[in-house]
Structure 1
Amino acid sequence: MTVFRPPLPTRRHLLAAGALSPLLRPSRLRAATTVPDSPLSAEHALVAFGHVGPVSDGGWTHAHDLGVQAVRARWPGLNTIYVESIPYSADATRIFRQFVAEGAAMVIATSNYGDFIRDVADAAPKVAFLECDGHNVSDNLGWYYITHWYASYIIGVAAGRLSKSGRLGYIASFPIPSVFAGANATLLGAQSVNPQATMRVISINSWFDPQAASQAGAALVDSGCDFLCGIMDDPAYLRVAEERHVWAAMWNTDMRRFGPDSYVSSVVLDFAPFYIDQIAARLAGRWQPAGHFLGLGHGVDRDAWGARVPQAVRDEADAVRTRILAGWNPFTGPIRDTTGRIRIPAGQSMSDAELYQWSWQVQGGAGLA
């Protein structure tokens, strides 16, 4: 049966219960040359999930938890455990090592933990590890990520039509590649229908801080932005948009209930098919470590349009979506950065690997270092 272990709801409870003894950071160990390949029955297997936030956040972690729920529905006898709000610190290493000690056949981290998870994977060659937004593949460690830049571009087309001022405001977490990709893609989509569109970005140094997100949203509206978007795990700035009568697009899940009049769409995530596929492979003894991009319509997409989005805007944006699904790449040059320098020459397109590592802001944008 599915197992919810009270001792493992949070890092704090783990430490308080004495379940995790202080462990020195292990030295880099060379993984074995064999992958986890022994077939397992669901009733005798344990899969552990490590989350960066609370499953109740309504955003990123909630989207992953929906995938976990789908796994439980697919295999009612599979044992599953999870820990919420794992910090980016040595505590992460302790928790991942605890998963291994619990007997996990597979460990799935729903955020990028770098060496904190890789060190554990290297020391446990018979356990399969997956890291969301990871960048390493070893004998028993793979990664996966969503190509959210396409959904962001589609929503950007709608933003370019809906914004009367042409000023978009973006609430960001940190100046990291996923944020650059999301902000840039949205702005480029807007500029495809309104070449004068601009974007101001405010980073709040958190994925989940409703107060800071609200303050950033209000500041952007005060500066003249009439379309808010971002990459937050909560609906705070949508509430601001509703109060201030401007448009807003969200991330992770359908959040329209928090601002039905302002809601345009959301970059929505669906990890369920991928989790089911990967766990099925592990149970069958045929899992292989690799990097996986979950594409448009297969893990990530735009949400159903908000009630007040005009039909003409929906149709125009969805025509772009159809072109992307048919193979068209909207990230084709010339694309300039904020200094006017051409970064992507005419006729050259950015690959998913390049978009995944985006580290510069496009012309018309401001606020990302």
Structure 2
Amino acid sequence: MIDLRTLSRRGFLNMSAAGAAALALPAGLFRAGTASAATLPAVAEEDAVIGFGHVGPITDEGWTWSHHQGLLAVKEAFPKLKKVIEVENVPYSADATRTYRQFVSEGANMIFDTSSTGDFLHEVVKRAPEVAFMECDGHQVMDNLGWYYLAHWYPTYVIGVAAGHLSKTGKLGYVASFPVASVFCSTNAFLMGARSVNPAATLQTIAINSWFDPQAATQAGTALIDNGCDFLFGIMDEAGYLQVAEQRGVWAAMWNTDIRRYGPNSYVSSVIIDFKKFYVDQVGKRLAGTWSPSETLLQMGSGVDRDVWGAKVPADVAKAADAVRDKIVGGWSPFTGEIKDSTGTVRIAKDQKMTDTELYTWDWSVEGVSGLTS
């Protein structure tokens, strides 16, 4: 049986049943630290070929656009590279395997899968031991494969704090994609942040079965506001529900990039992602012969953060939320028990601190979240 809760953040986009089966995760999700595999030999910059495979278009102003900015940073940092290969809209199917095999046949020394195609990628990894692979939102380490992702739950909690201050009704809305770990973690962190201000706050979610569907996101945002929500959040790659919030006069926060121009009066902030430094560092290590497979969660302030506050956010709200951000950066975790799930069952005991491993693989809703089932 496929456990849909453990699929990639992008793992449902255009996915068939066969695709889902191929992405089933192995037991023993994490390995501690860095793999012990020997490093790959150095490569002269002028001989190096670097490949990037994306799930969507680089013009989406969201997830794929952000990875493309990392590619551009690599080109700037290493202007003598022989070739940088970039393929958009890589499907979750055997076509992904063919795409990455083509990268290898073109002489790629390092390949980034920016949306975790799982076994479709791993088949190529096993057959190309001389190539370094990194899988975004991956869960497996091999001799020549590592993974990386974002600890997005921390800035999401901070934005939730702002929502707790700004919402007059305490009814928050969330435009979700699928019931996957990144969405559970995002909804939970958002409501927990809001409840630190207003313990009675609730979060209604609507899943639209897509990461990029402006029409569906618009409809979901409208429905949430019609149901009394006065603050919208979500994990979309476009601005559909932000535009609805602007039209209806409610607050909204976003994901991936700063797209406040679509709703300047409603925009509160966004979970901002930035892979540029990470990609430059990884390519630099590959060229120098010091790269080895690793597991990396980019932390708040270093790859992921909250965006500059929106123009209409009151100064006292911004100050209160940023005080919480400072505490988190200083080592405090808001994800400490007691934490109950949506049925009222205690999942995290009093004073027990959730690890990043648990946060990365969160697959249940906290008390107060409705509409999202695993």
Q: Same fold (TM over 0.5)?
A: yes
Matched residues in 2 for 1:101 and 1:295: separation? Answer: 35
Equivalent residue, structure 1, for 2:243: 239
What is the distance in 2 between the residues matched to 1:35 and 1:82? 27
Does residue 256 of structure 2 align to residue 252 of structure 1?
A: yes
CA contact (8 A) 1:35 1:126 kept: no
For the pair 1:219 / 2:223, whether they are aligned, the reply is yes
The partner residue of 2:344 within 340, 344, 350 is 340
Q: Does 1:158 align with 2:162?
A: yes
Checking the alignment, whether the CA contact within 8 Å between 2:155 and 2:305 is kept in structure 1 is: yes
Q: 1:122 and 2:111 equivalent?
A: no
Range 232-241 or range 73-82, more displaced:
73-82
SS in 2 for 1:143: strand
1:192 to 193, 196, 212: 196
**Partner-residue secondary structure (3-state), 2:159:** helix
User: How far, CA to CA, are the matches of 2:94 and 2:208 in structure 1?
Assistant: 24
Of 31, 39, 44, 2:42 maps to: 39
> 2:304 corresponds to which letter in structure 1?
V
Identity within the alignment, %: 60
Residues 205 and 371 in structure 2, CA contact (< 8 A), matched pair in contact too = yes
Contact 1:155 1:186 in 2 (8 A): yes
What is residue 72 of structure 1 aligned with on the other side?
A: 75
Unaligned runs of at least 5 residues, structure 2: 1-21, 23-35
Q: What amino acid does structure 2 have at the position aligned with 1:45?
A: A
2:182 counterpart (178, 190, 193): 178
Counterpart Cα distance in 2 of 1:177 and 1:217: 22
For residues 303-339 of structure 1, what are the alpha-carbon distances to aligned partners after superposition, in whole Å with 9 as ceiling and x for unaligned? 0000000000000000000000000010001110011
1:262 matches 2:266:
yes
**8 A Cα contact 2:37 2:293, kept in partner:** no
Letter in 2 for 1:75: F
Q: Is the 8 A contact 1:36 1:128 kept in 2?
A: no
Structure 1 CA distance for aligned equivalents of residues 239 and 65 of structure 2: 13
Distance in 1 (alpha carbons) for counterparts of 2:347 and 2:39: 42
Question: Equivalent of 1:295, from 299, 309, 319?
Answer: 299
- 2:59 corresponds to: 56
Q: CA RMSD in A?
A: 1.1
Aligned amino acid, residue 307 of structure 1:
A
SS at 2:108 equivalent: coil
Change (3 A) 1:250 1:282: same
For each residue in 1:152-208, what CA deviation from the matched residue of structure 2 results, as whole angstroms up to 9, or x when unmatched? 000000000101110111011110000001110000000000000000111111111
Query: Which of 77, 90, 102 matches 2:94?
Result: 90
Structure 2 length normalisation: TM-score? 0.89
The equivalent residue for 1:146 is 150
Q: Given residue 187 of structure 1, which amino acid in structure 2 is its aligned partner? A: L
Deviations, residues 74-100 of structure 1 (Å, cap 9, x unaligned) = 111222111101111111111011111
Partner of 1:323: 327
Matched residues in 1 for 2:291 and 2:107: separation?
Answer: 18
Cα offset, 1:290, TM superposition: 1.2
User: What is the CA-CA distance between 1:36 and the residue it aligns to?
Assistant: 5.3
Letter of the structure 2 residue corresponding to residue 63 of structure 1: S
TM-score by length of 1: 0.90
**Match for residue 309 of structure 1 among 310, 313, 319:** 313
Residue number in structure 2 paired with 1:350: 354
Post-superposition offset of 1:144: 0.1
2-structure distance, mates of 1:366, 1:70: 40
Amino acid at match of 2:76: A
In structure 2, distance between residues paired with 1:274 and 1:175 = 28
Which one-letter code corresponds to 1:251 in the other structure? Answer: W
CA distance in 2 between partners of 1:338 and 1:223 (Å): 20
Letter in 1 for 2:323: A
Q: Counterparts of 1:35 and 1:173 in 2: how far apart (Å)?
A: 39
1:147 deviates by 0.1
Maintained 8 Å contact 2:37/2:292 = no
Contact 1:36–1:125, Cα closer than 8 Å, also in 2: no
The runs of at least 4 aligned residues of structure 1 exceeding 6 Å deviation read: none
What is the aligned length?
A: 338
Amino acid at match of 2:245: A
Given that 1:155 and 1:302 are in contact with CA atoms closer than 8 Å, whether structure 2 keeps it comes out as yes
The match for 1:134 among 109, 132, 138 is 138
